[in-house]
Structure 1
């Protein structure tokens, strides 16, 4: 029987990766540790995107931010730089027909660390100084990128497109988590927030015993910050991979 991979991304992102995992000969289970809820009122983001040429840079903090923005605007002027954090966001742009062939996309070249800090190193900051940036994000998150862009001489607008919520444990999810806790599986974790949610759900489900079961699972994470969070939370087997689904799949297939 093939090994099982537990995919914890938000549902919309998890389904595509689960298909790739199954095509690679592994079993896949989806157990989202974050829920993405688009805000009911998108008028502020719509207004900004309607006049997107006011911005020299539009930065998306996640694939979810890209999906929502691309539902509100179909085309992107070539002179507006699109900043994204990693391969998952580049893939999200590509799903909406936005590639290097028709847009100016900037993303980290360091596959081992795709984040705001490495994005800043790739931007042409002298050319952006004195101009305006738009950050499309969730209702909560790090302020590092906005602060860094302002320090580099840009004016920055931040607009929330969605909110992240911790999932609840209904009867179906309780049964699934109980089964997964007892299963020898590899867990793909793509968010530090999701890890905290996992342990909170485990504590609600069965207290310290279930928490301890999960802490013994093999985790595959695409960023050193998530790996550090996992270690701080008591997980014993944490493997860092490069950014992107290809790197995650290669690591999962080679696990021993």
Structure 2
């Protein structure tokens, strides 16, 4: 990241407030102006009692799979509350690099992650998960997560249990506080974030927001953005972590080097 030079670039950062600080600092260090605008709040699941009960039974599982960094943070917080330690007998997998990084921070040494695409399909492509007959798998996720991972693992012989350890809530927010001519590019890291940003913008701000370039985490995010109504350039980060997001912003800047200021057509209201 030493070669990252984002001078004069204004970046809308839509991560939850507690997860945005590191990325904002990295952007500022690279010369960009970070504009925090959380479009998600992370809170307890509606059935916290069930989550606590499941955490107390980790030794019953062969595999623990974490869907996101939020899942890691919330699951380990529950483990600490319930005086539970990660059993040595459990194998651990993560959907992407940022999730694996969070596990490594918590002293989990061996984590299975996808080698290419960082999503459920990428994890399912790993040979370690191809034959799970008779094994029990616990998937830590947020409420309302995708079902493809669990269903496919069941088809491959596993007994699968899902546990929701957090809930995503759309916060109150107003893009009136963000000058429309100051946003060059926005970082949005989930489908729900993409949709929440669009809804929070409302018709008043969607007119210019739809032209703003986006950095996203996956091809699924790209497709979601297009379906939602975004028409600007969409860059998929090569890595699902802060370094990958910064590199994607730099990639966008390099392609648009001739542009000195914010996008000219945002003033048109197109």
**When the two structures are superposed, what TM-score results if normalisation uses the length of structure 1?**
0.87
- How far apart are residue 90 of structure 1 and its match? 1.2
Distance 1:184 1:198 in 2: 14
Between Structure 1 and Structure 2, how many residues are aligned? 241
State how 1:210-249 maps to structure 2 within 5 Å.
210-232=205-227, 233-243=229-239, 244-249=241-246
Three-state SS of the structure 1 residue aligned to 2:125 is: helix
CA, structure 1 residues 229+126, in 2 after alignment: closer, same or farther (shift >3 Å)? closer
Distance 2:168 2:40 in 1: 6
The answer to whether 1:141 aligns with 2:145 is yes
Contact 2:143 2:164 in 1 (8 A): yes
More displaced, 38-47 or 190-199? 38-47
Distance 2:213 2:24 in 1: 17
- How far apart are residue 147 of structure 1 and its match? 0.5
- How far apart are residue 153 of structure 1 and its match? 0.7
The answer to whether 1:80 aligns with 2:119 is no
State how 1:142-157 maps to structure 2 within 5 Å.
142-157=146-161
State how 1:1-256 maps to structure 2 within 5 Å.
2-39=8-45, 42-73=48-79, 75-100=85-110, 105-110=111-116, 113-125=117-129, 128-169=132-173, 173-177=174-178, 179=179, 181-203=180-202, 207=203, 209-232=204-227, 233-243=229-239, 244-254=241-251, 255=253, 256=256
Three-state SS of the structure 2 residue aligned to 1:77 is: coil
Distance 1:183 1:248 in 2: 19
- How far apart are residue 41 of structure 1 and its match? 5.1
Distance 1:136 1:78 in 2: 18
Cα deviation 1:162-183 (Å, max 9, x = unaligned): 11111223xxx34324x2x332
- How far apart are residue 68 of structure 1 and its match? 0.8
- How far apart are residue 40 of structure 1 and its match? 6.4
Cα deviation 1:179-217 (Å, max 9, x = unaligned): 2x33242101111111111121111xxx2x421200111
- How far apart are residue 123 of structure 1 and its match? 4.8
